[in-house]
Amino acid sequence: MVGRGISVQGTVQDAERLVVEGTVEASMIRATELSIAPGGVFKGEVEVDDAEIAGTIDGTLVAKSALVVRATGRVLGTARCRRLQVEDGGQITGRIEMITEAAPVPEPAPRPAAEAVS
């Protein structure tokens, strides 16, 4: 947890739950959950399973499962997610990419065997 008035720079890996009430600047963070509280700011790159944004994220966010942007939330930059929910008043400025299951490649139909001409 990064409390109000606290500013952190660096890299965090394999965190269970990251709660940002202050300011975080990071090159890459991997966590299970990311929660940015109202007034909280995250700048940089983050990859999580689930993200709930009520503050501001500026950078690249990958939410492998769900991204929820609350009414006070702002997403700036690039966000990739499987499911997206934006409350009335939530803002997204930049690029949103939806993660989809890879479609199976159909196998080509077997060709009929060439008939021998006598």
pLDDT in tens, 45-66: 999 999 999 999 999 999 999 9
Model-level pTM? 0.78
Q: What is the pLDDT of residues 88-115, one digit of tens each?
A: 999 999 999 998 875 455 555 566 655 5
Report the alpha-carbon distance of residue 48 to residue 57 in Å, rounded: 13
DSSP SS3 for 21: coil
